[in-house]
Amino acid sequence: MDPIRLDALVATAADILDGASAQFIAGHRADSAVRKKGNDFATEIDLAIERQVVAALREQTGIGVHGEEFGGEPIDSELVWVLDPIDGTFNYAAGSPMAAILLGLLHNGAPVAGLTWLPFMGQRYTALEGGPVRDNGVALPALDTPTLADSIVGIQTFNIDSRGRFPGRYRAAVLANLSRECSRVRMHGATGVDLAYVASGILGAAISFGHHIWDHAAGVALVRAAGGIVTDLFGAPWTAESKSALAAAPGVHQRMLEIIAAAGSPEDHL
């Protein structure tokens, strides 16, 4: 994409997310509105923010949007915004500040820009393809090459008895192996927050057992712009079709792959 156009699109999107931040903050501890699969839910604020941001993006950028709550434009479109109005909805509803607005821009399915807003933390991460990552407009340094032992690693929460693509016992085995080398593990309960924190150097790595594009598009763009590496859990480059994600600083990623591989196949833990 033309870098000048991309920069203009991100500037417009940043203004739109700023406009949604007051409503995001005001709705903290919002009640459940829509019951989703399993014990997942969306709040009234999720729905309202998605409607507001989608309408503004379409009007001001002329680009369609694929949102978590209402769907929309196909993600394989030439250009499409991908929106998660509240990443970390359980945190948000419970009163935790670990919640964010995620907005990524895909060009033919690949993330070329990412915006991650953490309104309660006062953090506004943006990046274009090629970097740098900016927090509140200030350019952050490219990622260093730390060791895993000196890193904090983010990992998703899970139920030990869950089954599916990545059973709970497989996830527990990964966590057990990781704990032997890195005792600094954090469960923030928000995939997009984890990815933004990898991009900014707060976390050395983050593991996502999920596949939803709205959880990953913005963060993958941020991590890659920072010089980090994003693959699936088995080492294949992350794409919009990936069923998992491993994002890490260059000095940590390969060791993380080895630790994950030591847990064996997910099917072995059913």
CA distance 98 to 92: 7
φ, ψ at 43 (rounded to 5°): -90, 170
| DSSP label of 268 | G
For residue 230, what are the β-bridge partners? Answer: 247
Residue ranges for the known binding site for Mg(2+) are 68, 84, 86-87, 215
CA distance 46 to 35: 12
Residue ranges for the known binding site are 68, 84, 86-87, 215
Q: Packing angle between helix 213-225 and helix 191-199, nearest 10 degrees?
A: 0
H runs (alpha helix) in the chain: 3-26, 44-61, 89-94, 168-179, 191-199, 213-225, 250-261
Quote the tokens at residue 42.
Answer: 């969306």
CA distance 229 to 238: 9
Are the beta carbons of 108 and 91 closer than 8 angstroms? no
Quote the tokens at residue 183.
Answer: 């005792």
Q: Packing angle between helix 250-261 and helix 168-179, nearest 10 degrees?
A: 130
Quote the tokens at residue 248.
Answer: 């890490």
CA distance 248 to 241: 19
For residue 35, what are the β-bridge partners? Answer: 41
CA distance 190 to 88: 4
